Chains A and B, each alone.
Chain A
Amino acid sequence: RKEVEQDPGPFNVPEGATVAFNCTYSNSASQSFFWYRQDCRKEPKLLMSVYSSGNEDGRFTAQLNRASQYISLLIRDSKLSDSATYLCVVSGLAAGNKLTFGGGTRVLVKP
């Protein structure tokens, strides 16, 4: 079993719609959680960190469920520019601060 698993998609989303997807992780000692965005195999860039209480950044909302060991990302009012691959990233000091990536979820926003 992979440490971090994601549905690869693609999620085909009409412009303006809401899309949500999850990521599960296997290491219960994980402490830090992030969503990165990657465009066309360019370098990944941080979208948002995920905090225990959940957090929102504009149209993006991230949630963490430690009991079930998953994090989620919700995108509201999808824009064409949201088309990308979203990478779930898990880390922890006990794991040497390594960032472990999921395989990514591809989102395609269509007019």
Chain B
Amino acid sequence: DAGITQSPRYKITETGRQVTLMCHQTWSHSYMFWYRQDLGHGLRLIYYSAAADITDKGEVPDGYVVSRSKTENFPLTLESATRSQTSVYFCASSEPSLPTATEAFFGQGTRLTVV
């Protein structure tokens, strides 16, 4: 199906484990983003990518790693999970059109709990 999908939808992991959250989009959008949302907070940007093999840090990148070897995939890895990384993670994609940015489309989110 066309769209943007995240997996898994729910994940419980232990402190210190490595966890990878997957994001896949079928539109061939250039831009992809990872946000986290904590209770009482808005969405905060972790990393984003303007194209395959191009990634950049957002507001809260510490403890996370991303890669983008293919346009359609943008996995987010927590190298050594900590309880403070318990959150809802949203992946998004967009295709900019000059001169303004365009809307972003979001995946359904991954609820991650680190115990």
In the A-B complex, list the 5 residue pairs whose CB atoms are closest, starting with the nearest. Answer: A103-B42, A91-B101, A43-B106, A32-B101, A101-B43
Question: Which chain B residues have a beta carbon within 8 Å of chain A's beta carbons?
Answer: 31, 33, 35, 37, 41-45, 48, 50, 56, 58, 88, 90, 92, 94, 96, 98-104, 106-109
**Does the CB pair B103–A46 fall under 8 Å?**
yes
Residue of A nearest to B59 (CB): A100
**Does the CB pair A99–B101 fall under 8 Å?**
yes
**Does the CB pair B99–A31 fall under 8 Å?**
yes
How many of chain A's residues have a CB under 8 angstroms from any CB in B?
24
**Does the CB pair B43–A41 fall under 8 Å?**
no
Beyond A45-B106, A97-B94, A99-B92, is A32–B43 a contact (Cβ under 8 Å)?
Answer: no
**Does the CB pair B92–A97 fall under 8 Å?**
no
Q: How many A-B residue pairs have CB under 8 A?
A: 62
Residue of B nearest to A88 (CB): B42
For residue A80, CB closer than 8 A to chain B, the reply is: no
Question: Which chain A residues have a beta carbon within 8 Å of chain B's beta carbons?
Answer: 6, 31-32, 34, 41-46, 49, 87, 91-93, 96-104
When distances are taken between beta carbons in the complex, the residues of chain A under 8 Å from B108 are 42-43
**Does the CB pair A98–B45 fall under 8 Å?**
yes
Residue of B nearest to A103 (CB): B42
User: How far apart sit A68 and B57, CA to CA, in the bound complex (Å)?
Assistant: 29
User: How far apart sit A8 and B103, CA to CA, in the bound complex (Å)?
Assistant: 23
**Does the CB pair A98–B58 fall under 8 Å?**
yes
- CB A42 to nearest CB in B, in angstroms, measures 7
Residue of A nearest to B102 (CB): A32
When distances are taken between beta carbons in the complex, the residues of chain B under 8 Å from A42 are 108-109
Residue of A nearest to B91 (CB): A43
Which of B44, B45, B101, B109 is within 8 Å of A93, CB to CB?
Answer: B101
**Does the CB pair A87–B101 fall under 8 Å?**
no
User: How far apart sit A3 and B86, CA to CA, in the bound complex (Å)?
Assistant: 24
User: How far apart sit A98 and B35, CA to CA, in the bound complex (Å)?
Assistant: 11
